[in-house]
Amino acid sequence: MEDSRIISLFFERSEQAIEELDRKHGPAVKRTAANILQDRLDVEECVSDTYLRTWNSIPPQAPNPLASYVCRIAHNLAIDRYHANRAEKRNGKYDLVLDEMEECIPSGMSVETELEAKELGASINRFLGSLSREDRFLFVRRYWYADPVRDLAAMTHSSPNRISVRLFRLREKLRNTLTKEGLLV
Amino acid sequence: MNRELLSSALCQIDERYIAEAYRPVPEAASGSSERIVPMKKKRIITFALAAALIIALGVTAYAIGVSIHRRRQEELREQLQIDENQVADYVEYPVAEEPEKAPAEGVTLLSAMNDGEFQRFWVVLNGVTPEMIERLESSEQVDWEGKALPANGHRYSFIYATMDGENYFDAMNPLSFRDGYDLESQTLTTECSIPLHELEPGRKIVLRFVMADCIDYELDHSEAELVCELGSAEVERTGQAIRTVWFSEPVSFSNGAYGKGEFLGAEISASGVNWILRHDGVSQMYRNHEFTDEAQRQAYLELERSWLAAIEDVERTAAVNFADGTCREVGLPLSSSEPEGDIVKDACLFSGGTVHLDQVVSITIGGKTFPAA
């Protein structure tokens, strides 16, 4: 079903909207959550919460594209849950993602407030705008969607080793960008 | 660094980039398959294939009443820009037109293309149950370093194609389980690429598709266990249109202390370019590897990474130029064949699908342009 039709179902307050959303974008939503959360039950709850939040936000919103809209909701909910759970245990997959970014943005930068995080986010967006589409794809899939390197290799017909090399270079490039912009000392 | 705020910064990645990366774009789906790693015992040749990602498979409205096989063929033609670029060496096989005549099990061969290094086959695997998809998907619960275990125990489930029960080729990857699966018809569409040297011209072979478990998807696939047979298809090498360009002068590059290398030429096909090059690391990179300890393995990986990066720096500058003055970037190099002497071919696909081969007039790499006579 077309996204526009699914949105219409939301506007009509038809429960079929959730079914169709799940049918079309459910796998991507589930994947987004599962890349960040380890526990299967957590993932299921995150997916359910995503649908509930989508139900509550459409209308008035009519997002286009719908897919990234619901993935972002799932992502944000999963991140919240990740941080809540993290006191108890490390999540191998998402911890690796943050470990990589921490190597790139070391202690030389102090991000201690939401405002500084926003500034860093804006800088990352400028950095992304400067990349080729292919490099941007890899960066976003790895550091936002939290896809494992092996999956990125599969998506791009590459080998994990090659993808690791490219991600390493992207992180170096980001580090240079942040230095130039004065965010890194 | 506060990790919570770091992830908060990453959360602010712009909506348009999130949407852009939602599905792999053709530019991102470049390259072919990775280097063949010879195994000591039974070997599984690991390819990173994601045909179902290149082809953004989806059931289209116009196709109601048409078999899933026919629909997939239409989608492939469109996604690969076969008609637009008059790709003569793309082969499409006859399939059932109507849903009721489509086979419920076994393998249906959709199409094939010879890219000069690999014979690419697109197939539909019929009779794939949601439970099988679930099992395959559970292999996603690992990171590439194997630090986490898959949900189904200690093994990773994949789909492979094999001709002889000794050499296996990945026919699947976790993501395409979703994009390539059609629940209604219980079919899974995927791609399998076979190195050309495995396919003698004019000789038909039976390609068996199996679901198998293995312990480690990095280097040691020697303990793979068959889960089930999915069917087979008779295949053969298809024809190929290729233009070979030998550079009038080599394009040299350096890899610091590891040595030097040079690009000697290129084989251009409708789907990509195979760079012909040699470098000082070939003999070390492509010999049989039997690591006695982790340090050796790490040293090898470092050597490999270093050469791959040096080669990529040059290949990143490449484009083919067309008669109308336009050009097309060559996707990043993602595959290397086994060497002949000190010569190796590095294969990649064009960004954004196929090109019109007859319209290519020259090729640019490393700041130099060579005519494609």
Neighbours of B38 (CB within 10 A): 11
* A157 contacts in chain B (CB < 8 Å): 29-33, 48-50, 334-335, 349
Assess whether pLDDT exceeds 60 at residue B268. Answer: yes
Alpha carbon distance B349, B54 (integer Å): 11
From the candidates A89, A116, A158, A175, which should be mutated to test the interface with B, based on the most B CB atoms within 10 A? A158
| Alpha-carbon distances, residue B267 vs B13, B107, B149, B277 (angstroms) | 39, 32, 41, 11
**Which DSSP helix (H) or strand (E) runs through B185?**
none
Q: What is the value of ipTM here, to two decimals?
A: 0.83
The alpha carbon of residue A139 is apart from the nearest alpha carbon of chain B, in Å, by 9
Q: Alpha carbon B166 to chain centroid distance?
A: 20
Does residue A29 sit in helix, strand or coil?
A: helix
Pairing verdict, β B225-235 and B243-254: unpaired
The string of pLDDT tens digits covering residues B283-342 is 887 766 666 766 776 777 778 778 887 888 898 889 999 999 999 888 766 566 667 888
Domain ranges, ordered by start, for chain B: 23-235, 243-371
Of B13, B174, B332, the CB nearest to A134: B332
* A109 contacts in chain B (CB < 8 Å): 1
The string of pLDDT tens digits covering residues A141-184 is 999 988 878 777 767 666 666 677 778 778 888 888 888 887 77
Q: Please tell me whether the overall predicted TM-score, pTM, comes out greater than 0.80 for this model.
A: no
With a pLDDT cut of 90, the percent of chain B lying above it is 25
Q: Cβ distance B167 to B90 under 8 Å?
A: no
Q: Which two tokens stand for residue B348?
A: 């990649």
Domains defined along chain A, listed by start: 3-86 (1.10.1740.10), 92-180 (1.20.140.160)
- Residue B303 one-letter amino acid: L
The answer to whether the CB atoms of A158 and B334 lie below 8 A apart is yes
If you measure CA to CA, which chain A residue comes closest to B143? A148
Helices A92-104, A133-143: axis angle to 10 degrees equals 130
The string of pLDDT tens digits covering residues B7-53 is 888 888 998 888 888 765 433 333 333 322 222 222 333 333 333 33
Q: Alpha carbon B71 to chain centroid distance?
A: 22
Query: Is residue B281 classed exposed, middle or buried when 0-12, 13-18 and 19+ CB atoms within 10 A define those classes?
Result: buried
Residues 6+ apart with CB under 8 A from A58: A7, A10, A11, A17
The arithmetic mean of pLDDT across residues A24-52, rounded, is 87
Of B134 and B250, the structure prediction assigns the larger pLDDT to B250
